[in-house]
Chains A and B, each alone.
Chain A
Amino acid sequence: MAEFESACFLNDLPGEPPVGYSRLYYGAEFCFWRLPSSAKIVAARKWARNAGWNFTLVTPILGEDERLRLDSLLQTVLPELDAGDEILISDWGALELIRVFRDDLTIVLGRALSGQKRGPRILDMTLTQEQREYFQRGSWHSREAVGLLDEQRITRVEQDNLLQGLAPLSEALKGSLHLPYAMVTSSRNCPFRVTAECAPCSASCGEVFTLQSSETTVLLYQDGNTQFLHNEHLPDNLAELRIDRIVEHQLAR
């Protein structure tokens, strides 16, 4: 019997919900221009409800112009959500936008804010025990950082599946683990982007290229403005790590 909730991050919703999942992650983490329209988000919420799934709306990293656009979108979308729905934030700037409309919604802290060190060079380094333990942690492992989350009424943090392993979260938190693609780096300087900085992106996102070098066997995948690595190895001590949800991703195409 699974000891964790299985969630699925989908960009395109199939007619029939895939088997084995009970939560939909829908939206965008790293690029605002990948965030679907308010109409599509409301439809996705309905799709999840019809499937008997829970729903997590995923909001992305924001520039100033994008913060204003998200504000406008949330005014349409937030009234459609139930108190049981979640909103994942990838940017602290989204917090006030949500709380001003819906103080009752559960806010989840996205992996863009996890501070984890994901780069594959760590595997080639000779580390002491102290160093290894450091690199298995992230921004939300210290008591003071957990205190900040507690003040903000945030109890769930999203984590990437580090090649070097993970340290347990605080007892005050629960974690979601994203598989099999871990974010390594991201940028507003997107190689796919051709329009001026503040204008909406017209690039037809979805194609992926790979980056391979002789210094590591770990392949990088460039999907939009973000590079990922692949790590499908599921830790065998999820309960100890305080991870009770697995979020499965596909590359865009």
Chain B
Amino acid sequence: MRIISPVDNLKETHLLLQAGADELYGGYIPIEWEHYSLAASLNQRTFSSAQIASEEELSEIISLVHAHQGRFALTLNAPFYTDEQLPLLIEYVDRMVTLGVDSLILADPGLLRLLKKRHAPLEFHASTLAHLTNSGAVRFMAEQGMQRVVLPRHLSVADMAAIIQQVPDVLCDAFLLVGKCPNSEGLCTFHHSSPEKIWPCEIPYNIAPLSSGASPRLQQAMQRQASWSETNRRHGCGLCAIPLLKEAGVHGLKLVGRGAPAAQKVRNIALTKEFLALAESVTDFTEYKRLAVAAHQERFGAVCHQNICYYPEFFDGEVV
């Protein structure tokens, strides 16, 4: 499986490739987008540290990636763009193609239609924002021109295996490490714009029953919901599932963390690489899992928890 890492600047690019990333992805906001700014971001990130600073820097990043026989994917994954924005994006993508971008990560089917006609050689990825959670939806988007899909969070490995079996011509990537969300990103319409990067799913809400006389089931549901404000989403994991993801036919492991420090990205790549190797060499899954659980604790300084387990069907701890 390929290791896919975010990249935000040239300085960290060499480190990420040296650590073992096969593909990098990132976003860049061009000057012509200034009317919309980061508030209506063209790539789902509302903070500048998650953006490559200039076209020149992006060009150098792509050159470095290609020198390492890697690939670079540009994120253009807002759920929709308007008729006023699309001409800007067409010119923008024309320039990005000349810089050597290999693929685009998209969610808007309208943009896909335009770009597929204009830049057919590019590889088009369906972002998790496209929310393709079954083989029929993947097939539909493949008919529109998507060749690769980032499978959304909260799909089980069995779900992924079934989808891949049904649509074998479409490459599927799965999330790993950091940034586990309680909600399904393609269905989440909260605006992620807090300067402190505290997203609406992390707020310590006052949670109460709508009507009096909450049943034990409702109380348990409220407790589960409240547990997200006590969860560090940046501890997202999934290491235990790597052997099963490989067996399912997952093409790439997509690491989260645009805007995170380089050292964190490097650690995530190294950890993934280590466990890809262990998935080959350790044939006893119980032993593999023991190593993965220990590695999670060492990496994040916290024990496993159901909320931050990307594939909770393998979670053995206490369920809230």
Q: Which of A14-22, A79-87, A178-186 contacts B (4 or more CB under 8 A)?
A: A178-186
Determine if A139 is an interface residue (Cβ-Cβ < 8 Å).
Answer: yes
A117 and B189 in contact, given A187-B154, A191-B225 (Cβ under 8 angstroms): yes
Determine if A237 is an interface residue (Cβ-Cβ < 8 Å).
Answer: no
With a cutoff of 8 Å between Cβ atoms, the chain A residues found around residue B39 in the complex are: 125, 127, 131
Q: Which of A39-47, A88-96, A239-247 contacts B (4 or more CB under 8 A)?
A: A88-96
Determine if B277 is an interface residue (Cβ-Cβ < 8 Å).
Answer: no
Determine if A172 is an interface residue (Cβ-Cβ < 8 Å).
Answer: no
Measured in the bound complex, the distance between the Cα atoms of B83 and A133 in whole Å is 11
How many chain B residues sit at the interface, stated as a range, is 35 or more
Contact call A251/B210, Cβ cutoff below 8 A: yes
With a cutoff of 8 Å between Cβ atoms, the chain A residues found around residue B35 in the complex are: 128, 130-131
Out of B37, B80, B187, which one reaches A138, CB within 8 Å?
A: B80
Contact call A119/B134, Cβ cutoff below 8 A: no
Measured in the bound complex, the distance between the Cα atoms of B312 and A121 in whole Å is 31
Contact call B136/A189, Cβ cutoff below 8 A: no
Q: Which of B12-20, B21-29, B156-164 contacts A (4 or more CB under 8 A)?
A: B156-164
Measured in the bound complex, the distance between the Cα atoms of B228 and A222 in whole Å is 14
Contact call B206/A145, Cβ cutoff below 8 A: no
Determine if A196 is an interface residue (Cβ-Cβ < 8 Å).
Answer: yes
Determine if B11 is an interface residue (Cβ-Cβ < 8 Å).
Answer: no
A209 and B136 in contact, given A65-B162, A127-B39 (Cβ under 8 angstroms): no
Out of B82, B86, B131, which one reaches A133, CB within 8 Å?
A: B82
A64 and B205 in contact, given A91-B134, A137-B82, A191-B222 (Cβ under 8 angstroms): no
Measured in the bound complex, the distance between the Cα atoms of B133 and A115 in whole Å is 16
C-beta contact mask, B132-171 vs A, less than 8 Å → 1, else 0?
1111111111001000000001111011001100100000
Determine if A234 is an interface residue (Cβ-Cβ < 8 Å).
Answer: no
A186 and B184 in contact, given A97-B136, A142-B110 (Cβ under 8 angstroms): yes
Measured in the bound complex, the distance between the Cα atoms of B296 and A17 in whole Å is 56
A209 and B218 in contact, given A93-B137, A137-B82, A186-B187 (Cβ under 8 angstroms): yes
B275 to chain A, nearest CB (A): 22
Out of B136, B194, B201, B225, which one reaches A92, CB within 8 Å?
A: B136
Chain A: CB-nearest residue to B144: A148
Residue picked from A122, A125, A140, A185, most chain B C-beta under 10 Å: A185
With a cutoff of 8 Å between Cβ atoms, the chain A residues found around residue B133 in the complex are: 61-64, 91, 93, 188
Determine if A212 is an interface residue (Cβ-Cβ < 8 Å).
Answer: yes
Determine if A213 is an interface residue (Cβ-Cβ < 8 Å).
Answer: yes
Contact call A148/B187, Cβ cutoff below 8 A: no
With a cutoff of 8 Å between Cβ atoms, the chain B residues found around residue A134 in the complex are: 36, 40, 82, 85
Measured in the bound complex, the distance between the Cα atoms of B191 and A144 in whole Å is 25
For the complex of A and B, list the 9 residue pairs with the smallest distance between their C-beta atoms, beginning with the closest. Answer: A93-B136, A144-B110, A145-B110, A119-B190, A93-B137, A188-B154, A211-B205, A115-B79, A208-B210
List 20 extra interface pairs beyond A131-B39, A139-B80, A196-B313, CB under 8 A: A30-B187, A66-B134, A91-B136, A93-B139, A95-B140, A117-B191, A118-B190, A141-B83, A142-B110, A147-B110, A185-B187, A185-B200, A186-B183, A194-B220, A197-B312, A208-B209, A209-B222, A210-B210, A213-B205, A253-B211
